[in-house]
Structures are given as C-alpha cells and as structure tokens.
Amino acid sequence: MTKGKIAAIILTRDEEIHIARAIASVCDQVDSVYVIDSISQDNTPAIAAEAGAQVLSRPWDSYAGQINWTLEQLPDDIDWVLRLDADEFLAPDNNDLRAEIARHYRADPDCEGILCLRSMVFMGKMLKYGGMGEKPILRLFRRQNAVCDNRLVDEHIHVKGTVRLGQIKIIDHCLKGMAFWIEKHKTYADLEARQVMRDRENMRQDIDNHSRNSAQFIKRRMFYKLPPFLRPALYFMFRYIAQRGFMDGYVGLCYAYRQAFWYRFLVDLKIIKMRHHHRHQRDN
C-alpha cells in the first residue's frame, strides 16, 4: 500500500530550462527524486543535483529502455513511482500523493496504477478542449509489476493489477518555443512511421493485447485503415470540431492544425516513403 516509499523519476536530455521546476513540484510529495540523464550537453545534471535529485546517467536508447532500466535501479524500499517528463510539473493544488494512493488502495486492494490528469499549455494558453483538457494518463504506479512497452513512440506503462482514475494533476508546459516543438515532432513523425511499419508485421497480436475501446486500438487498427492524407484532415475535424478545439480560440486552431493535421500528414509522407523503399528493396 503506502508503507513503502514513493519516488519520482524524470528522464532528461538538455533540460536545464525545465528540470528545476519539475523537481520543485514533486520534492515535497515524494521520498526521493531520480533524474535519468541521457548525456546532456548543458547544465541539466548539475541543476538537478542542486535541486535535490539523485542523478543517474545512461545513454539514450528508447523511452522503454530508460524507464525499465530505471525501475530496476531503484532501491528495494521504493513501492510507488511517479513518472514525469522534464517539461511537466505537478499542479500546485494537488492532493497529497500518499493520501491519494491510500484512498485508491482502500477502495481496491488490487490497485497498481492511478491515472493522473494531464493538461497542456500551448503558446502560453492552457488547452481545455480538443481532447487536451485533463487527459487521463498512467503516471503513478506500483513499481513491482510495472513495465514500459517497447514502442518507438507513444509508449505506455503497463501493470498487472487494476488501474483507477485519480485526481492528481500534471501540467505539460514546454518553454523551448515553437521551433523546438516542430523539430521534436519531425523526429516523432519518423518514429511513428517506423512503428506503423513494424505493427504491420504483428497487427493481430498487437490488437489482441489492447482493449478495442482504447485509444491505441482506434489509432492502430481504425485510424491507419483510412486512406493516407485523408486521415489527417478527418482527424483535424474530429479534434477541432467534434472535440470542440475551437473553444480554445486561435491557440486551439494552431494546436489542432499542428498536432492533428500537420504532424499526421508528415507521418503519412514518411510511411509512403518507407513503403516505396521496401518495395524497391524487394523487387531488387
């Protein structure tokens, strides 16, 4: 339950602009903070250590590799883990983490995961619509049976016990600007396209491992059944109109265009390029 300790883990690489904020938001809520740094070229490790975190260094291989390695390195008395990205922080009005865990354990002794509510700040505005307002995400979990799936992008933590919806709020607020956001999503688009190509080889097993009502099922099985270049337009309309992204004003339009249309259009371009490359290799 809560007899063991709680640790926060934060993956970093060149995050000196964010890391002190992330650590400060959790240091009073957990017993220890671990920063897993992927050979930063800036002052991230020094800032993290000065803020009270224990800094572990490991060259980057993947989200799954970093997270699963970190879970193995934690001391045996760490029972629950809170995972944050470096550009995220706990909202200041949160309930106590230990009380939150105890509340869910009393309701369900098999509880091993608690969904946190993540909100995003984009272009200086907190998004409330378009599917981005307090989105449930598994970030608080028991360490013992937790594992991160080995996906190239859009990775998820899995636990053996039950997962319950909690009230812990996480704010995602990147301070690096639009140019960084665009370059990051170009990298994500390449990873997403590679993952789609990989999923084609084992789609049946991949789908059987997830609920047909899950977001993963919808994206992998239904979204990618739609024609390329049409699906980004449809997804934009879904996020901007059906999920009322327009209620966030100009910023809501910019986010829906960038994330739902532009990014997905770029993924489709990369998928088609990869398919042509594979056909060329096969024919030769």
What are 203-223's pLDDT values in tens digits? Answer: 555 544 444 445 666 666 788
Considering the domain architecture, whether residues 112 and 26 belong to the same structural domain is answered as yes
Q: How many domains does the chain have?
A: 2
Per-residue pLDDT at 154 = 86
What type of residue sits at position 3? K
What is the arithmetic mean of pLDDT over 76-90? Answer: 97
Q: Of 121, 151, 173, which residue is a domain's last?
A: 173
Task: Summarize the chain as % helix, strand, coil (round to 5).
Answer: 45, 25, 30
Say what the pLDDT of residue 215 is: 60
- The predicted pLDDT at position 205 comes to 52
Show Cβ contacts of residue 21 under 8 Å, excluding neighbours closer than 6 positions: 89
Between CA 90 and CA 98 the distance in angstroms is 14
Does this model's pTM top 0.85? My answer is yes
- Residue 13 shares a structural domain with residue 147: yes
Residue 233 has pLDDT above 80, yes or no: yes
Residues of the chain with pLDDT > 70: what percent? 92
**Residues 161 and 273 grouped into a single domain:** no
Query: Rounded to whole angstroms, how far apart are CA atoms 182 and 188?
Result: 10
- Domain check: are 197 and 257 in the same one? yes
pLDDT confidence tier of residue 77, bands split at 50, 70 and 90: very high
Dump pLDDT digits (tens) for 121-166: 999 999 999 999 999 999 999 999 999 998 888 889 999 999 999 9
Residues 33 and 161 in one domain: yes
Are 187 and 168 found together in one domain? no
Residues 156, 18 share a domain = yes
Looking at 134, 149, 173, the residue that finishes a domain is 173
Q: In terms of domains, do 157 and 206 share one?
A: no
Q: 213 and 85 in one domain? A: no
Statement to judge: residues 23 and 119 lie in one domain: yes
Domain with 241, as residue range(s), is: 178-283
